A and B are shown apart, each in its own frame.
Chain A
Amino acid sequence: MSAVRTPREVLLNRVAVVAVFVALFIMLAPIYWIASTSFKPRNLATTVPPTILFEPTVAPYVKTFVKRSQLRGPVEEEVYEAAPWWEQLVLDGGEKVVRSPSGEVKPSGYGQRFMNSLIVAVVSTIFAVSMGTLTAYGFSRFKVAGKDDWLFFILSTRMLPPVVVAIPMFLMYRVVGLNDTHLGLIILYTAFNLSFSVWIMKGFIDEIPREYEEAALVDGYTRMQAFFKIVLPEAMTGIAATAVFCFITAWNEYAFALIMTNRNAQTAPPFIPSQIGSGLPDWTVIAASTVLFLIPVAIFTFLLRNHLLRGMSFGAIRK
């Protein structure tokens, strides 16, 4: 851009700034709306016209985690007074907390699904990133016959539609008893993320000068030592970024989880929509469970901001 700015250019720039903020508002409005719904009392979630200003409550977040049933009549005063604050919030909404005969609060199932998501995503990420880093190093530093074909093969496994892979996997898992197990999902997500991790890690490792290792080899390191002591520390940023990408992919995955799990190992993505069920859905609870599910991804996106481009283009484009 030229140093001297014409009035026309200044005006254009102002228009652009306004347009960017309008676009930002439109892009973030849906996310704001779901977040605000998660703090509404149930009767304000589906009003006509929509309620924009309201007194926030955390009741939806309490309700997300406990099993509830509809109250038949008004609550007795002493029962209400004896209840802890979070139970009062549920009672305020016309529902009561379901307890086992021994008085323990029954969980809603969301907590368990959330944990399942966490276990499956973390373990599959560890596998995918560690195998991917080794393989990327192999492809980056050594001569491999038909290298480009192998790399294409690795990437093509990522591009398969999940349902296409799920049909035979479902049949095979049924034979070996891996349907609805954590291990079954971990294997699928590892396979899915492995190709991504090889491609993106190869980009990161290609950028580490070979001279570093060669100097180490001359100094008496073995190739293995050079890899672990020189290359890995240098590649740490790349490994962290790759891990976050793999985690987000596994965390968000829906189709495999829908097909391969139903109870024991079900993750949050198929569970959250199933809360709609029949009758009038409680959108505040759906919103609360959605927000809790989205928070980790939002945080990671922020941490990843400088690597998004590389990650999204499979390592092909870097700044």
Chain B
Amino acid sequence: MTDSVMTRLDPNSRAAARGWSDLTIRNLFIIPTIAFLIIFNIFPLLYSLGYSFTDFRASTNAPAKFIGLQNYRELLNDEFIWRNFTITAKYVIVSVAGQVIVGFGLAMLLNRDIPMKGLITTLLLLPMMLSMAVVGLFWKLLYDPSFGIINYALGLGKFEWLADPDMALYAIAITDIWMWSPFVMLLSLAGLSAVPKHLYEAAEIDRAGPFYTFFRITLPLVLPILMIAIIFRTMEAFKTFDLAYIMASQPTTELISIRLYKMAFLEWQTGKSSAFAYIVLVMVVAITNIYVKYLNKVKER
């Protein structure tokens, strides 16, 4: 790092002679944050990397024994872990697809002349600001087979939403869709409002049909922002813990985060769970990388 290009001031000017140099200020402003994040995010991860090669259990006082790659080998060969991954994949696909359909649909509707548009948009955005844990809790009341309002409103009788192993994951996904469609809607609205009006006028003059207009004008222009929403929601859905953990405790709803939590804090397999955490970490960093690439791309526009 060189300081010669940092300041635009002439080094001989009066301003540069007073106070701290720009280099000092830059370091003073940036280094504490970086240091804080390294100490509280990176260092712990290095710490657990060490444990991931041991059979350490935090619940006992037995010293950790080095077992090499055994944890990783066991995890990658464990068919139950693979089932957790399959469940998570199913959950991510269903809930993100649902959010895109509902969210983008809502955005298309709101992109017209709607009375009280601002107020309606704000109200629609409310669900995504709420706590996932608390949302999961009160959806349990809504889903209750006997006195829940959902079965009553839909006339489903005693339909088991959360107790049925095949249905529970979808029930959680529905709640996630309710909560996060507004996010996709918000980003899509931004994308839609950025589409130049003259393109639509030109399409109208050319007598282009609504489908043609949508697929050739609207969608391509909104896609970059929609992709941001999709990648971000994929990443978040992949990490889901609160919602599913609160709403159901079936083997069919055991997402990766829940398995990891149980392994680490209920079964106290600290060493093995550290290894598991690393496998998850690599996947998340990969998705983050794609996400940031898209963010920067959109920013440059």
A319 beta carbon closer than 8 Å to chain B = yes
State which of B1, B15, B148, B273 has its C-beta within 8 Å of the C-beta of A144. B1
A48 to B122 Cα, complex, angstroms: 33
A252 to B246 Cα, complex, angstroms: 14
Contact (A220, B131) CB under 8 Å given A143-B5, A163-B261, A164-B260: no
Choose the segment among A59-67, A85-93, A100-108, A307-315 that binds chain B (4+ C-beta atoms closer than 8 Å): A307-315
B48 pairs with A13, CB closer than 8 A: no
B295 pairs with A224, CB closer than 8 A: no
A317 to B228 Cα, complex, angstroms: 10
B257 pairs with A309, CB closer than 8 A: no
A191 to B137 Cα, complex, angstroms: 27
A45 to B136 Cα, complex, angstroms: 18
A195 to B109 Cα, complex, angstroms: 34
Which B residues touch A254, using CB under 8 A?
A: 131-133, 241-242
A313 pairs with B187, CB closer than 8 A: yes
A170 pairs with B58, CB closer than 8 A: yes
- Nearest B residue to A253 by beta-carbon distance? B131
Task: Identify which of residues 144-172 in chain A touch chain B, using a CB-to-CB cut-off of 8 Å.
Answer: 144-145, 148, 150, 152-157, 159-172
A115 beta carbon closer than 8 Å to chain B = no
State which of A220, A270, A313 has its C-beta within 8 Å of the C-beta of B15. A220
What are 7 pairs between A and B in contact, CB < 8 Å?
A23-B109, A150-B30, A168-B45, A276-B137, A305-B122, A308-B186, A319-B193
Which B residues touch A190, using CB under 8 A?
A: 36
Which A residues touch B126, using CB under 8 A?
A: 27-28, 31, 298, 301
| Size of A's binding interface in residues, CB under 8 A | 107
A302 pairs with B41, CB closer than 8 A: no
B137 pairs with A224, CB closer than 8 A: no
State which of A31, A34, A145, A223 has its C-beta within 8 Å of the C-beta of B20. A223
B22 beta carbon closer than 8 Å to chain A = yes
Q: Is the interface of A mostly helix, strand, loop or mixed?
A: helix
B65 beta carbon closer than 8 Å to chain A = no
Which A residues touch B83, using CB under 8 A?
A: none
Contact with A along B257-301 (1 / 0, CB 8 A): 100110011000010011001001100110111011001101100
A251 beta carbon closer than 8 Å to chain B = yes
Min CB gap B81→A, angstroms = 15
State which of A28, A50, A154, A172 has its C-beta within 8 Å of the C-beta of B47. A172
B241 pairs with A162, CB closer than 8 A: yes
A248 beta carbon closer than 8 Å to chain B = yes
Choose the segment among A76-84, A134-142, A232-240 that binds chain B (4+ C-beta atoms closer than 8 Å): A134-142
A163 to B244 Cα, complex, angstroms: 14
Which A residues touch B25, using CB under 8 A?
A: 138, 142, 223-224, 227
Which A residues touch B281, using CB under 8 A?
A: 160-161, 164
Taking A1-B200, A135-B33, A220-B14 as given, write out 5 further A-B residue pairs in contact, using a Cβ cutoff of 8 Å, ordered by the A residue number.
A17-B115, A27-B124, A34-B141, A225-B19, A286-B141
A134 to B20 Cα, complex, angstroms: 15
Task: Identify which of residues 125-155 in chain B touch chain A, using a CB-to-CB cut-off of 8 Å.
Answer: 125-134, 136-139, 141-142, 144, 146-149, 152
Contact (A30, B142) CB under 8 Å given A144-B30, A251-B131, A252-B130: yes
Which B residues touch A119, using CB under 8 A?
A: none
Contact (A157, B141) CB under 8 Å given A164-B260, A251-B131, A272-B134: no
Highest count of chain B CB atoms <10 Å: which of A20, A159, A164, A253: A164
B123 beta carbon closer than 8 Å to chain A = yes
A71 beta carbon closer than 8 Å to chain B = no
